[in-house]
Amino acid sequence: MDSGNAAWMLTSASFVLLMTPAVAFFYGGMVRAKAVLNMLMLSAGALAVTAIVWTFWGWSIAYAGKDIGGIFGDPATGFLLKDSMVSDHGVFTAATNNANHYPVSIDVAFQTTFAMITVALISGALAERIKYSTWMIFVALWITFDYAPMAHMVWNGGLLSPTGAISQAIGASAHDFAGGTVVHINAAVAALVIVLIIGKRKGFGKQPIKPHNVPFVMLGAFLLWFGWFGFNAGSAFGANGTAGYAWVSTTAATAAAMLSWGFTERIRTGHYTALGAASGMVAGLVAITPAADVVSPLWAMVLGAIAGVLTCLACNLKFMLGYDDSLDVVGVHGVGGVTGTVLIGFFGSGTGLFAGGNWRQLVVQICIAAIAILFSGVMTAIIAFALEKTVGWRVTEAQEVAGVDLSDQGETAYDFAGTASSILKEVK
């Protein structure tokens, strides 16, 4: 066993686990005070339900099971982790080491946290109006039928992998280092589909809906940046030079995106806002995720700067097109994920159009992004429609106005003297 690799990957798994509470803070600060607890609970539910599903069959579908059509693995081979865990004189340990010479049980831990953060990202688009019970059912179904198959397709030799059918047909190896397709495009498309099904919040587009705690948002963004080192550098699957470079490129791209978002915002509004800085950080982190190991320092910064501008502008699309993506999951993760995935075709070292390569890398990157959009859209639509027609997604209008915290959690985040009177006025 390589103890250095084992230690780094356990650390990375813990970093990525921190990202879901970070998302909870990031999203929680952006909603109104009457919905912050529900927002935090949606992330907590994502953690808990995903851990159970992944242990039962999610790991097997994504990584352990026999490949079925390049789309998913069978759920039986690794059911309840029987492929990766073994009892040695009554004490459980890993059944074997993987190719990087650390226990496969650590891979289970690392990939569990990826699944957790991916589904948690979706919740930001649904803020202030959905039932916690429906959300928990959705998490279980989406991890099973969408996330795990997508992870298999991209990262376990499936259809969208470097050795998969798409890459072979085009003659270039598809590249998604840490989740441009699996995580960000996947989550953003799912978020958009659900938003179109469940509809807008009361007052959307007619009255200001402002963040109640911008320091929460900033704290969440800083914690996400920290956790992302496990996300990206951990995707090297070892304590090595690729992990070190992923750390560097992640930081460079994130810094560039934060600045370019700020400059864009300054031109448009006359201000550099804290909310914009936090959003720019996340946009840069998203965009560099698929490309962190294959773009040079210069191209990493260019990629981040492009992503900062595009995501800043994209967040206004919801007002132009009339869909209520509450916390800009589509604008930041969707546009950022597509940007990072596609720009590998231009900036990827030795393969991209501007970095010594040819058109094939660009074509394969566009193809995997498009297929990820299609797969996520179809699978999420089936799940979301089924839930809408059975248990229903939304709280009642009266519950939404009073605050989903009160209706769903039976408690409030803050005990302000004026809270009750302000709610009564809004109800009237």
Q: Is the pLDDT of residue 425 over 70?
A: no
Tell me: the pLDDT tens digits for 75-111? Answer: 999 999 999 999 988 999 999 999 999 999 999 999 9
Radius of gyration, alpha carbons of the chain = 21
pLDDT at 13 over 90: yes
pLDDT band at 428 (very low <50, low <70, confident <90, very high): low
Neighbours of 241 (CB within 10 A): 10
pLDDT of residue 424 exceeding 80, the answer is no
pLDDT the model gives residue 422: 59
Which one has a higher pLDDT value, 287 or 205? 287
More confident residue, 246 or 427: 246
Contact 119, 187 (CB under 8 A): yes
What is the pLDDT averaged over residues 340-355? Answer: 97
Angle at 120 between CA 368 and CA 388, to 5 degrees: 90
Q: How confident is the model at residue 418 (pLDDT cuts 50, 70, 90)?
A: low
For 235-244, the pLDDT digits (tens) are 999 999 999 9
Q: Describe the crossing of helices 104-122 and 186-198 by its angle, rounded to 10 degrees.
A: 30
pTM of the model: 0.95
At 208, the pLDDT band (50, 70, 90 cuts) reads confident
Q: In the chain, what percentage of residues exceed pLDDT 70?
A: 97
pLDDT number for residue 238: 97
Per the CB < 8 A criterion, the answer to whether 361 and 351 are in contact is yes
**Average pLDDT of 333-353?**
98
Question: Do 373 and 174 touch, CB atoms closer than 8 A?
Answer: no
Kind and range of the H or E run holding 93: strand 91-94
Q: In order of start, what are the domains of the chain with their CATH numbers? A: 3-427 (1.10.3430.10)
Strands (DSSP E) found in 115-198? none
Could you read off the pLDDT of 324-334 as tens digits, one per residue?
999 999 999 99
Under a CB-based contact definition with an 8 Å cutoff, are residues 236 and 178 in contact?
no
